[in-house]
Amino acid sequence: MNIYNYTIKQLEDYFISKGEKKFKATQVFEWLYQKRVKSFDEMTNIKKEVISYLKEDFKINSLEILTKQEDVDVIKYLFKLEDNNKIEAVLMKHDYGNSLCVSSQVGCNMGCRFCESGRLKKVRNLNTSEMVLQLLKIEEDLNIRISHLVLMGIGEPFDNYENVINFIDIINTPKGIALGSRHITVSTCGIIPKIKEFIKDGKQVNLAISLHASNDKLRNELMPISKVYKLDDLMKTIKEYIKQTNRRVTFEYILLKGINDRYENAIELSKLLKGMNCYVNLIPYNETSHIEFKKSDQDTILKFYDTLKKNNIGVTIRREFGKKVSAACGQLRANYKEE
């Protein structure tokens, strides 16, 4: 078992089962995540007999960087996993720090029509360590500190709920990577039962909803999940989330030329979100050669933005990254050719 799969609580339980004090879990976490050791033998304040059974029960593995593409403020990584599957992660440089977008699955079953990842059907969930190691490997490769993290890469995080929650625990733990809750965002296309579970779990991280449409008819055409979880039910669940957590929710909205970018859509969206503690993140579409959708022109994007503003909806326009790289999520993986 890869030791990066274990939360500090799970590692405490492990040591207790071995007749050891649970504080050893904290020691191991400090070696792994603060000192970034590559072997158990480097953990010099841990007894040799403990090191011996750690070696028997765990391994310390990394990820292989297959390739990376760089632009001014973005670096896109393609990793190879132990079973030869491939995943992506994207490092974005902002004025407030380094933000990393990680993948949660190999492929995705949500089938959103505009998404490059949706063409790559789900092969399997990533385990916790494969998410943790995306962050560790990129920090090592670039010799940087990642200050913000978003689960918006390949895959639907709430379709891999347990591993994602363990991942959040590890990167949020003070003795682990110690990334603050407010600097972590989970994005879901709207799996209502898992959002309700997320409410009960009480994680103080940010929640983003991939919305992309202002009514059920349009959302059904773009996102098959909307046929299972209707927009009205999703909004009720999000309102409950806001009530229970007192947290603001982000609604992600990719603007597709002539599809969901009309004035009528902006008005409809304003009515849908009226009175909610939320804001809308408008996303200029990354066009790919495989998918027919086109990016809205700049004038249309600004008019959509202004309409939301005039209707008292908080709104931002996502800065465009990676014009010189395979920018769309899943595109680098789809285009990679084995040598």
Q: Which of 64, 70, 88, 221 is catalytic?
A: 88
Q: Which of 70, 287, 329, 339 is catalytic?
A: 329
Q: Which residues contact 139 (CB under 8 A, 6 or more apart)?
A: 145, 146
Instruction: In whole angstroms, give the CA distance from residue 195 to residue 282.
Output: 22
Is residue 106 classed exposed, middle or buried when 0-12, 13-18 and 19+ CB atoms within 10 A define those classes? buried
Is 329 one of the catalytic residues?
Answer: yes
Is 278 one of the catalytic residues?
Answer: no
Instruction: In whole angstroms, give the CA distance from residue 134 to residue 149.
Output: 11
Single out the residue of 136, 66, 32 nearest to residue 339, CA to CA: 66
Which pair of tokens denotes residue 60?
């310390």
Instruction: In whole angstroms, give the CA distance from residue 302 to residue 319.
Output: 13
Question: Helix (H, G, I), strand (E, B), or coil: what is residue 23?
Answer: helix
Single out the residue of 224, 310, 304, 209 nearest to residue 257, CA to CA: 304
| Residue 145 neighbours by CB distance under 10 Å | 10
DSSP 62-94: --EEEEEEE-SSEEEEEEE-TTS-EEEEEEEEE
Distance of CA 283 to the CA centre of its chain: 16
**Residues acting as catalytic residues:** 88, 329
